[in-house]
């Protein structure tokens, strides 16, 4: 349970039945969503507002299908894995990726449902979906988050989280895939994530990433060497800076 503080209940007009509740700024993405209201009566009555997030789930399912299009050359077989909410954890706001179940943020889903989706929301969702699909590409759990991060970067062209910098730099310099050096270009050309051509154009890059991370999954010492070299270089940059 998350405590969001105390807010007053206001009425828009006596007898109108219209009630307004001032909400914390953290809930701003939820403005306008229809909510189911439940009263738990008793000595200390509770009023529960349950937003209708079913349309957002539908958007996530559509987004998953787009990611599968980009992964078509990397996935075995001809039928892409189906969308399942059980493969993800969910939260109101984005969380930095790490080991464990990839997270989808309701705030990002609401952004995807809008007319002009935030490119960072697109990158985060692409990273989470790619992390789930990693196992289908023979990529072990230990490398799934890094694989997802680079896929998200390839899509949006930004290090949405600071921890993306390391795997993205390693992939760009080691895999020598030209598409990786044009990360975010597809989005810049057509900022509509529902466009199938946008995702189809990413297929070579996603395939190169899947091949590279599958290799590192079975040869982790190679990746550890690249990581050590990257961190040495980063340390030198910080020292000289």
Q: Are 25 and 137 found together in one domain?
A: no
Q: Are 128 and 140 found together in one domain?
A: yes
Res 36: pLDDT: 83
- At 115-144, the pLDDT tens digits run 667 889 999 999 999 999 999 999 999 999
Q: Are 137 and 35 found together in one domain?
A: no
Residue at a domain's end among 9, 27, 51: 51
**Count of domains in the chain?**
2
pTM of the entire predicted model: 0.85
Q: Are 133 and 27 found together in one domain?
A: no
Q: Are strands 46-51 and 89-91 parallel, antiparallel or unpaired?
A: unpaired
Give the residue numbers spanning the domain of 33: 17-51
Q: Are 103 and 201 found together in one domain?
A: yes
Res 238: pLDDT: 60
Q: Are 114 and 34 found together in one domain?
A: no
Q: Are 33 and 101 found together in one domain?
A: no
Does a structural domain hold residue 8? no
Q: Are 163 and 229 found together in one domain?
A: yes
Q: Residue 2 has which token pair?
A: 């998350």
Residue at a domain's end among 35, 51, 67: 51
Q: Are 112 and 208 found together in one domain?
A: yes
* First-to-final CA distance of the chain: 44
Which stretches in the chain have pLDDT values below 50? none
Does a structural domain hold residue 236? yes
Q: Are 59 and 40 found together in one domain?
A: no
Q: Are 84 and 26 found together in one domain?
A: no
Does a structural domain hold residue 23? yes
- At 52-75, the pLDDT tens digits run 888 899 999 999 999 999 999 998
- Quick one: CA dihedral 120, 123, 126, 131, positive or negative? negative
């Amino acid at each position: 349970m998350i405590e969001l503080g105390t807010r007053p209940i206001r009425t828009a007009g006596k007898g109108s039945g219209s009630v307004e509740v001032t909400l914390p700024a953290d809930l701003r993405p939820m403005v306008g969503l229809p909510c189911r209201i439940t009263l738990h009566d008793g000595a200390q009555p509770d009023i529960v507002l349950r937003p209708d997030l079913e349309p957002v789930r539908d958007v996530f399912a559509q987004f998953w299908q787009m990611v599968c299009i980009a992964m078509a050359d990397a996935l075995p077989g001809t039928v892409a894995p189906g969308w399942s909410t059980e493969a993800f954890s969910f939260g109101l706001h984005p969380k930095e990726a790490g080991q464990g179940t990839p997270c989808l943020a309701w705030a990002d889903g609401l952004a995807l449902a809008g007319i002009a989706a935030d490119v960072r929301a697109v990158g985060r969702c692409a990273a989470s979906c790619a992390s789930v699909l990693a196992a289908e590409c023979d990529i072990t759990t230990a490398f799934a988050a890094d694989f997802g991060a680079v896929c998200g970067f390839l899509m949006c062209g930004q290090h949405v989280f600071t921890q993306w910098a390391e795997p993205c730099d390693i992939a760009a310099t080691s895999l020598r895939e030209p598409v990786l050096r044009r990360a975010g270009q597809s989005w810049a050309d057509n900022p509509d994530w529902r466009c199938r051509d946008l995702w189809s154009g990413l297929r070579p890059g996603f395939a190169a990433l899947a091949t590279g991370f599958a290799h590192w999954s079975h040869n982790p010492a190679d990746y550890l060497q690249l990581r050590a070299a990257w961190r040495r270089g980063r340390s030198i940059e910080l020292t000289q800076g």
